[in-house]
Amino acid sequence: MTEAEAANVTRWDGEPGRYEVYYLKFNHLRTSTGFWIRYTLLAPVGGSPVAELWAIFFDSKDPSNNRAVKNTFPASQAVIKKDSFSFLIGNALIAQTRAYGAIRGKEGSITWDLRFEPVFRIFQHFPYRFMYRISVPKTKVISPNFSMKVYGSVEVNGRTFDCNGEPGQQTHLWGTKHAERWTWANSSIFKEDSTAIFEGLSAQIKVGNRPSPALTLFFIRCLGKDYYLNSLFRLFRNKSESDFPVWKFGSRQGKMRFMGEISAALESFVGVEYTDPDGEKLWCYNTKVANLVLEVYEGSTRLASLTSPGVTALEFVGRYKDPRVSIRI
């Protein structure tokens, strides 16, 4: 297996108190829409493990068209291969370069048959490999297909979206408990730089009975260079001001300085419920059609102002419900 495929292999070994998630997200540029598909496992501390399939559709032009559907199966029905990456739930599969499936729920149906072509193969969010082996942090995250082109088709309630190299990402998460709260964003679609990529994550974990300070990391590709702003030192020094539905952030590396803001209208978000293996709940507010402005400086000289309008993924998660956004699944 390649390093990227090994990063995708399922970690769950049947023990209780675990969860695992594979998600892929992409934008359909011609229609200003976005998609979020999740294949998940939840093995609660008490009770039977389940496998779930989620699909969410975002329409930036008319958010009333947004749709969210989820199907749940006994985990015994999941077929997991570990000699090569393959994860099958019911009639839905995700593998290293392929995903297909179908869901029907109260908001209709979403079906997909997709292939991936990697542009940027793998991004390791944590700065050290040993952090993926020890118990803290309790959630591990890595993107085996960090930036990719998506081919194939998706159908939402009878409307077909043909994909011909749509920009997307595929990520793998696993662990024993979600973070206390977090803000995340990603885009590989910038008007001024077709090669640019942005990934940001700011999270608080529980240390004893108290939440930690915000631990914030970024990856930025722009102007022909890659900036890994995720060292242990930078986890504490990177700036993050998260106030749903707006995230402001900043980081430095040598003479380089990055400042940005990401936001979306409330109606562009879809609310969903997450569950920890111990039964605690979290509420997620996610959109794939947010707006990102990234300012890049060298010293006092502004090198670029990069914009990703209506095509940025943005997510706020915490242990509270925001009454402004309904929970769809």
pLDDT tens, residue by residue, 287-322: 999 999 999 999 999 999 999 999 999 999 999 999
Cβ–Cβ under 8 Å, residues 186 and 199: yes
96 CB contacts (<8 Å, ≥6 apart)? 2, 4, 5, 8, 84, 85, 116, 144, 145
Q: How far apart are the first and last CA of the chain?
A: 35
pLDDT at 209: 83
Q: What's this model's pTM, rounded to 2 decimal places?
A: 0.97
Domains along the sequence of the chain with CATH: 1-176 (2.40.370), 177-329 (2.40.370)
**159 band by pLDDT with thresholds 50, 70 and 90:** very high
Q: What is the pLDDT of residues 43-77, one digit of tens each?
A: 999 999 999 999 999 999 999 999 999 999 999 99
The helix or strand, by DSSP H or E, that contains position 235, with its residue range, turns out to be: helix 232-237
Q: What angle do CA 96, 97, 103 make, to 5 degrees?
A: 90
Give the mean model confidence (pLDDT) for residues 237-256: 97
Give the mean model confidence (pLDDT) for residues 89-112: 97
Instruction: Reply yes or no on whether the pLDDT at 206 is more than 90.
Output: no
pLDDT at 170: 98
Percentage of residues of the chain with pLDDT beyond 90: 97
**272 band by pLDDT with thresholds 50, 70 and 90:** very high
pLDDT at 208: 80
